[in-house]
Structure 1
Amino acid sequence: MRSYILSVSFILLSFCTFAQNTGGKGKLIGKVIDATTQQPVDYATVSVFKQGSTSPFNGISTDEKGTFNIQSIAAGDYRVTVDFLGYKKYIVEHVIVKDGGTATIGTVLLQPNQNQLKGVDIIAKAPIIENRIDKMVFNAQNDLTAQSGAAIDVLKKVPQVTVDIDGNVELQGNANIRFLINGKPSSIFGASLADALQAIPGSQIKSIEVITSPGAKYDAAGTGGIINIILKDSKVSGINGSVNLTAGTRQENGSFNLNARKGNFGVNAFFSGNAMLNTRALNTNKRTSSNPDGSRSELFQDGYADTKRSGYQSGLSFNWSITPKDDLTASVGFDHFGNSNKGITNQEESLYGISGALLNDLNSIRNSESRFSAYSTDLSLNYKKTFAKEGQELEFLITTSSSKNTVNYFQRQDYDAPMMTATGTRGYNPGRDRETNISLDYTHPVTKNFSLEGGAKVVLENLTNTINTDTLDAAGNYLNNANQTYGFNYKRNIYAGYISTTASLFKNFLDVKLGLRNEYTTTNADFPGVVIPGYNTVAPSAVISHKLDATQSIKLSYSFRIERPDYGEVNPFYNISDPHNISTGNPNLKPEKSNSVELGYNRSFNSGANFYVGSFYRHNTDDIQQYTTQFDTLVVNGDRYTNVLLSQRANRGTQSTLGGNIFASVPVGKLNLRSNIFIANRWNTAPDPANNNAIQRVSAFNYRINLNANYQFPNNFMAEIFGNYNSSARTLQGTRPQFFWYNFAVRKQFLDKKASIGLVANNPFNKYVDQYSTTTGVSFNQESLRQMPLRSFGITLSYKFGKLDFAKDKEKEGRDNNGGTDIPESGGGK
């Protein structure tokens, strides 16, 4: 840590030294909006010309708010143009940039081009990967193979994100991630994250934002950071839409989008569905346990599990620009996803004496089934007001998300010994979950180079769950087990406030953003004998960035985050679907706390190439880890179970991670190559029960490499290949499996690129992906092999329809952002 701090200090010292030699430079700022809809125009091209020159020497694209900031411009007299396909070019003559000053052209109102032909599609294709000051953006809609799968498949291609075979997601090696949809929380993620990500078709995703060092405006939850999934919509006038369908041997999905906008009112509707067809995974498990009397027990399990998944999402949103400065958006969404599992496991339990002689051998067969279903409804209302002063904004947002979840399970174990009766359990567990978020945010620019932002937020969570458990008796009847039948209520409220500042220092040499967030959490749960105390969290954050020139930037950030245990981790209910592998929650879990530092450098090239390299250091205290303990006999609410591994999460010491990420995108003619390399080393320090709770230190090195290549052939034909490898890594009690997968895709566009057909192949040369892992603990050792069938083939179809209407709104025609008179195309800036 000391060497890391010294390195950072050296970098900052270098900045200051460099700052003393970069005088005489200024910057150019402004904002671009649609003159008709008053909506920001992102990805508009802003070009800077020297007077008399026909070629720009500098330029940039506007961000999602329509703003732009061009740094390091020498003092002089320039011509600036703003251009975007489907709009008239906006020209500003004689923009004067002074030494160390800021030239602004104010708000640019792009006028739609009224001479567009009917049925013309406007295409502004963003790069696949964008590195912004506070996040990395993966534009999924421009990625070929991502469109045929689900959200979980799209995430596999996002830099810094790792997804394993079971759909578990990590960001920079950390699984504690805050997931959002369109910037808002959703209860769809609370029930089962893996199932939720399997239920969102990739064709419905516009982009995925990865925020590894969130600022004070964001919730402090999620020590790994935030992943925001942006669904497709449209703010273009007219009526248009799209249809996407995928049929395959393992997965099917489809989506429908419809957008309509007239003047200052717009409507967006969508429906999407996804289904994973029956998939059979093979499982082998071998466990050896040492008993206190010197004997040895062995358990061998061999079987299979058939899994199906399905789900749908639907949504309707309304946008009303009440005035050029008042915007109201409302949305409602209905979602469903579920899965079913059915399997058979053959078991052999052997007991060996001290001499090694076989004392007992028992064979059995276990049949198991489970079904999970979740229905959720999301509602939101957002009001945003802008003021005459550039950058001054007030925003109010209320969202509420509710879900109804049901779990049914059954397991029965039959023995080959004639004197032993069958055992088994079944359960029916319904539950409800509701979360409401109310927030108010205000931004006030004090000067051109300094602004303040603050806000408050309330999060209200309420969950109820009922556990109904039946046990198989000697007569073969399932009778209610009162010891494992109960219900509980779980309530958690979070009250938060924040303040942050943004400033440009040393004559715009450094851009600095500092923030402080305070959150107070109260939790009430009627678990027997459990009281969860309230706690306060102070979360500071800081970002320092410097733009070396128009193509290079460097950023240093710090953030403090926490991971609150969710209800599934604290629920003391025992999951006994496999009597030899039992799990339960821990109501005494404390929140995990994390401090992280990140340093990144980004460089873009005129050829379209892009390069990013970054490093991070993260230190967690009260680290939440799963721990497994072996029991010769475990008594659960009066019932006895033998040769059991009990898994439970606990706060186990500290965890430190030092890692780096390298991303590169290189176009070579019509070939585009992308690669991402992620490396990290993790150190865990925790008590070791196997050694009288002496401090145990475990070091684990892990890396991930992926490669994507696509080639644009003539006649609108494209091909793409993607491969991903993730190495094995040590854990506190064993090893995690390595995994590798790859896919191919080809696509042909026709009907003036309105329609396309594609073929996709996933792992075509490997029927199974082998997952080998180990778990060790006090007096036991376990080896497991899972064979997951990922091979699949599919066909994708897509079609875009509708016309774009560029007729002006007569009430707004000829008005600028302040309600003033016309601004001529070649006029001057403010």
Structure 2
Amino acid sequence: MRTFFLLVFLFVTTLNINAQNAGGKAKITGRVTDAVSKQPVDYATVSIFKQGSASPFNGLSTDPKGDFSLNNIPAGDYRLTIDFLGYKKHVVEHVIVGNGGTVALGIVALEPIQNQLKGVEIVAKAPVIENRIDKMVYNAQNDLTAQSGAAIDVLKKVPQVTVDIDGNVELQGNANIRFLINGKPSSIFGASLADALQAIPGSQIKSIEVITSPGAKYDAAGTGGIINIILKDSKVQGINGSVNLTAGTRQENGSFNLNARKGNFGVNAFFSGNAQLNTTVLTTNNRSSADGQGNITRLFQKGSSDSKRSGYQSGLSLNWDITPKDVLTAAVGFDHFGNHNNGLTNQQESITDASSNLITNLLSLRNSDSRFNAYATDYSLAYKKNFKKEGQSLEVLFTSSYSKNTAKYSQTQDYLNNDRETTGIRGNNPGNDRETNISIDYTHPITKSFTIEGGAKAVIENLTNTTVTDTLLSGNYVNNAEQTYGFNYKRNIYAGYLSVSTSLFNNFLDVKAGLRSEYTTTKSNLAGVLIPGYNTFAPSAVISHKLSPTQSIKLSYSYRIERPDYGEINPFFNISDPKNISTGNPNLKPEKSNTFELGYNKSFDGGANIYVGSFYRHNTDDIQQYTTRYDLLTINGKDYTNVLLNQRANLGTQATLGGNIFASVPVTKKLNLRTNIFLAQRSNKAPGLDSIKAFQYRFNLNASYQFPGNFMAEAFGNYNSSSRTLQGTRPHFFFYTMAVRKQFWDKKASIGLVANNAFSQYINQESTTKGPGFNQASIRQLPFRSFGITLSYKFGKLEFSKDKEKDGHDEGGNNMPSEPSGR
């Protein structure tokens, strides 16, 4: 806390210093029109350069009237450029700015390009990383090595995000993240996050938005923040599309996109699929436990497991500009993913007394099989109304997501050194998850520098599933009635919010603050599960200041909660390994979090960029995985001996102080280096458990080089440190990727080669778990090495015209959905 308040003090001091030096700044104004029709050109890009510099230090887009105003410009000699698709770039040399006042350029006429463009793609290439006031954006489509894998591989390169080898994602060291697709929720994430992220090919991802301190407009769910995956889309006139294919030794994926737009109506369709080929993982577990009477039980397990993953995504969206100010969008999507694991494990379980005398020594062979499948259908209908007053808008959104999930397992144990009968069990857990969201958002600018936003939202979620368990008796499976039951879980959330945005002290500070209220009701049909309704007030605020046209600083605060999801509350017992059983906890309470952030960003003339941020987060009712050992565990009438039971629980408090450093440096015109460093000090305090302090860090480096002839090479390496948990340690890991790509046919086609961990077959993960009466050491060997080839082709005819781009679209014409009422 002392460190945090010191940072706040430095921030306030910096504001005072800059307030004293803020005088003397000027502004540049003008209006952009079509040289032929004399009509205003809205959303033209205006950029300002220092003389001799190749990179702009400030810029904006023209408003619906074609007007622009560049503020807080220091005295100097500048070059101004104005650009828009379908027009020749207009350059104004030697714009002389004095101390204070206004430089009025008047009307700037853009000349239309008369020649029709056929078979040519024009792309305004954004930087790989964009740091905005409320989010950080990773533009995956501009990253070579990200295109060959799945979404989980793309996330490994996103600043502030950590992904372990098993696909578990953390944002600023917190795993409780709200995931969205195109700004909308999907029930597919509630079934199995790691599998869902494995099913989205990287070639289908346009960008990933990271929002660590969401405002009042967003749902309060997700103490770690929000990750929004933006899929590729287009609003360019004409018919165009792309095909991407990757074939490899470990995983394969492909995607197809088709866009068609004529006038004010557009259609987008896509299909993408991903498959992880059979992978054999080697595991070793060594456990020692005491029963309190001097007897020591040792369990040694060594085996291998074959695993496969596959999935697909498909979608169709329709966009209709009813009028220049009324837009209707409808979309439907069909998604699927699944995994299959089967393996053999040799087991030795021995018991010795206090004098080290052997009491029993049991050898067995366990054969296990588990499968998981999820199918989801997502619907959405959105309407946006822009009023005559600039910035005034109304948005209404309806989304419905339905998923059907099935988890199955079976296991048998053959005993090798006695005549015990083969034992076994199998379980089947089909379930449905339906979630409906209805929201309305209204934005009203009172003045040019003061805006009010408000809205309401209802979330209706209904989980139903059935557990059927059979026990192997005398060679036949017989239904176990005590482990066969149904589970229904209903949760409704009713929310409202109000926020204001304003500029203070003559545009010296930009401030956005708001309050969100969410009332949650929960019902379950399980005996003993009673969760009363509760209300959550979630305040948020962000203060930002431009120290200069190329650097800014911001301070933010947010209050958030984490409601347990489908997998955490489902009481289904997975007994595929009778010595390591896992289940959900329907009595989980929501986790609550207060987060403070301080960030600084600076860009340089040569194109370099650096971001330095720090944060402090304090969680109560912290949700953590907890492992308990039982000499004898009875589950619905069935006894299991020497068992570790794994489930989530609310375990006290967690406080994290951390920082993130991101830098992108163009060493030469052809060589670019990019790095991201994450560090965090975490402390956990849980009643009945030891308090721990743990330090963890992540470091990665990306290097890209542009050779002549449209040939590019890239390399990426990532290291994640090990860290302590409440009950042991998590493993460290290191991986690296190398890729080359050649573009041809006027950059419409490309071919690439990709290699992951080319010089090492396995990633070895060593972890420990301990608790009252037991210690366990585990080693997992994951085959991570792979080689692949990627093919890409873009087709179609593009027609450019000065159609008005609506709010919510980026400069390239792609959908940039905001999240009404915080989905």
User: Please, what TM-score do these two structures have when normalized by structure 2?
Assistant: 0.92
Going from structure 1 to structure 2, the CA distance change for 1:428 and 1:3 (only over 3 Å counts) comes to: closer
Distance in 2 (CA, whole Å) between partners of 1:724 and 1:53 is 37
Which residue, 761, 776, 783 being the options, matches 1:782?
A: 776
**2:704 is the counterpart of 1:710:** yes
Going from structure 1 to structure 2, the CA distance change for 1:257 and 1:446 (only over 3 Å counts) comes to: same
Cα displacement (A) at 1:85: 4.7
Amino acid at match of 2:717: G
SS at match of 1:531: coil
Distance in 2 (CA, whole Å) between partners of 1:641 and 1:672 is 57
Cα displacement (A) at 1:582: 1.2
C-alpha contact (below 8 Å) 1:719/1:745 kept by paired residues: yes
1:641 corresponds in structure 2 to 640
Cα displacement (A) at 1:388: 1.6
Distance in 1 (CA, whole Å) between partners of 2:659 and 2:691 is 22
Cα displacement (A) at 1:11: 1.9
Distance in 1 (CA, whole Å) between partners of 2:410 and 2:33 is 58
- Which stretch shows the higher mean deviation, 756-765 or 55-64? 55-64
Cα displacement (A) at 1:633: 1.0
SS at match of 1:259: strand
Going from structure 1 to structure 2, the CA distance change for 1:57 and 1:723 (only over 3 Å counts) comes to: closer
**2:733 is the counterpart of 1:739:** yes
Amino acid at match of 1:533: P
Cα displacement (A) at 1:587: 2.2
Going from structure 1 to structure 2, the CA distance change for 1:662 and 1:3 (only over 3 Å counts) comes to: closer
1:252 corresponds in structure 2 to 252
CA RMSD after TM alignment: 3.1
Amino acid at match of 2:485: Y
C-alpha contact (below 8 Å) 1:85/1:123 kept by paired residues: no
Which residue, 782, 793, 803 being the options, matches 1:799?
A: 793
SS at match of 1:578: coil
Amino acid at match of 1:545: S
Distance in 2 (CA, whole Å) between partners of 1:513 and 1:277 is 48
Amino acid at match of 1:186: S
Mapping 1:116-131, distance limit 5 Å: 116-131=116-131
1:823 corresponds in structure 2 to none
1:825 corresponds in structure 2 to none
C-alpha contact (below 8 Å) 1:101/1:507 kept by paired residues: no
**Count of residue correspondences:** 803
Amino acid at match of 2:723: A
Cα displacement (A) at 1:419: 3.1
Distance in 2 (CA, whole Å) between partners of 1:94 and 1:444 is 38
C-alpha contact (below 8 Å) 2:117/2:798 kept by paired residues: no
SS at match of 1:576: coil
Cα distance per residue 1:26-47 (max 9 Å; x no partner): 55689999999x99988x6413
2:612 corresponds in structure 1 to 613
C-alpha contact (below 8 Å) 1:560/1:595 kept by paired residues: yes
C-alpha contact (below 8 Å) 1:671/1:710 kept by paired residues: yes
C-alpha contact (below 8 Å) 2:55/2:605 kept by paired residues: no
Going from structure 1 to structure 2, the CA distance change for 1:666 and 1:7 (only over 3 Å counts) comes to: closer
Amino acid at match of 1:390: E
Amino acid at match of 1:755: A
Distance in 1 (CA, whole Å) between partners of 2:328 and 2:757 is 46
Distance in 2 (CA, whole Å) between partners of 1:623 and 1:458 is 26
Amino acid at match of 1:748: K
Cα displacement (A) at 1:422: 1.4
1:569 corresponds in structure 2 to 568
C-alpha contact (below 8 Å) 1:284/1:785 kept by paired residues: yes
Amino acid at match of 1:564: R
Cα displacement (A) at 1:576: 1.4
Cα distance per residue 1:238-285 (max 9 Å; x no partner): 111100000000100000011111111111111101100000000000
1:821 corresponds in structure 2 to none
C-alpha contact (below 8 Å) 1:114/1:807 kept by paired residues: no
2:371 corresponds in structure 1 to 371
Distance in 2 (CA, whole Å) between partners of 1:319 and 1:584 is 44
C-alpha contact (below 8 Å) 2:55/2:607 kept by paired residues: no
Mapping 1:32-111, distance limit 5 Å: 45-48=45-48, 59-60=58-59, 62=61, 70-74=70-74, 81-89=81-89
Amino acid at match of 2:585: N
Distance in 1 (CA, whole Å) between partners of 2:78 and 2:320 is 38
Cα displacement (A) at 1:629: 1.2
SS at match of 1:574: coil
2:391 corresponds in structure 1 to 391
C-alpha contact (below 8 Å) 1:71/1:549 kept by paired residues: no
Amino acid at match of 2:284: T
SS at match of 1:688: coil
2:468 corresponds in structure 1 to 468
Distance in 1 (CA, whole Å) between partners of 2:93 and 2:263 is 30
Cα distance per residue 1:657-694 (max 9 Å; x no partner): 000001111112200100101000100011235xxxxx
Cα displacement (A) at 1:566: 1.7
Cα displacement (A) at 1:190: 1.1
C-alpha contact (below 8 Å) 1:590/1:651 kept by paired residues: yes
Cα displacement (A) at 1:639: 1.0
Going from structure 1 to structure 2, the CA distance change for 1:238 and 1:708 (only over 3 Å counts) comes to: same
Cα displacement (A) at 1:86: 3.8
Distance in 1 (CA, whole Å) between partners of 2:264 and 2:582 is 54
1:761 corresponds in structure 2 to 755
SS at match of 1:748: strand
1:820 corresponds in structure 2 to none
1:692 corresponds in structure 2 to none
SS at match of 2:532: coil
Which stretches in structure 1 are left out of the alignment for 5+ residues? 690-695, 818-830
**2:319 is the counterpart of 1:325:** no
Amino acid at match of 1:588: N
C-alpha contact (below 8 Å) 2:53/2:605 kept by paired residues: no
Distance in 1 (CA, whole Å) between partners of 2:52 and 2:290 is 83
Going from structure 1 to structure 2, the CA distance change for 1:29 and 1:332 (only over 3 Å counts) comes to: farther
Cα displacement (A) at 1:564: 0.6
C-alpha contact (below 8 Å) 1:490/1:567 kept by paired residues: no
Distance in 2 (CA, whole Å) between partners of 1:672 and 1:392 is 41
1:411 corresponds in structure 2 to 411
Going from structure 1 to structure 2, the CA distance change for 1:276 and 1:63 (only over 3 Å counts) comes to: farther
1:226 corresponds in structure 2 to 226
Going from structure 1 to structure 2, the CA distance change for 1:112 and 1:173 (only over 3 Å counts) comes to: farther
- Which stretch shows the higher mean deviation, 100-109 or 261-270? 100-109
C-alpha contact (below 8 Å) 1:45/1:59 kept by paired residues: no
Distance in 2 (CA, whole Å) between partners of 1:712 and 1:657 is 40
- Which stretch shows the higher mean deviation, 334-343 or 73-82? 73-82
Cα distance per residue 1:755-796 (max 9 Å; x no partner): 000000000111000010000110110000000001000000
Cα distance per residue 1:446-467 (max 9 Å; x no partner): 1111111111111111111011
Going from structure 1 to structure 2, the CA distance change for 1:57 and 1:603 (only over 3 Å counts) comes to: closer
Going from structure 1 to structure 2, the CA distance change for 1:333 and 1:239 (only over 3 Å counts) comes to: same
Distance in 1 (CA, whole Å) between partners of 2:491 and 2:125 is 43
Going from structure 1 to structure 2, the CA distance change for 1:101 and 1:728 (only over 3 Å counts) comes to: farther
SS at match of 1:627: strand
Amino acid at match of 1:481: N
Distance in 2 (CA, whole Å) between partners of 1:197 and 1:140 is 15
Cα displacement (A) at 1:114: 4.0
Cα displacement (A) at 1:618: 0.4
Cα displacement (A) at 1:70: 4.0
Calculate percent identity across the aligned residue pairs: 73
Which stretches in structure 2 are left out of the alignment for 5+ residues? 808-823
Going from structure 1 to structure 2, the CA distance change for 1:176 and 1:807 (only over 3 Å counts) comes to: closer
2:189 corresponds in structure 1 to 189
Cα distance per residue 1:219-256 (max 9 Å; x no partner): 00000000000000111111111000000001000000
**2:152 is the counterpart of 1:152:** yes
- Which stretch shows the higher mean deviation, 676-685 or 6-15? 6-15
1:721 corresponds in structure 2 to 715
SS at match of 1:137: strand
1:25 corresponds in structure 2 to 25
Distance in 1 (CA, whole Å) between partners of 2:116 and 2:616 is 52
Amino acid at match of 1:142: N
C-alpha contact (below 8 Å) 1:382/1:396 kept by paired residues: yes
SS at match of 2:527: coil
Distance in 1 (CA, whole Å) between partners of 2:41 and 2:615 is 33
C-alpha contact (below 8 Å) 2:18/2:547 kept by paired residues: no
Cα displacement (A) at 1:138: 0.5
C-alpha contact (below 8 Å) 1:721/1:743 kept by paired residues: yes
2:513 corresponds in structure 1 to 514
1:357 corresponds in structure 2 to 357
Cα displacement (A) at 1:79: 8.9
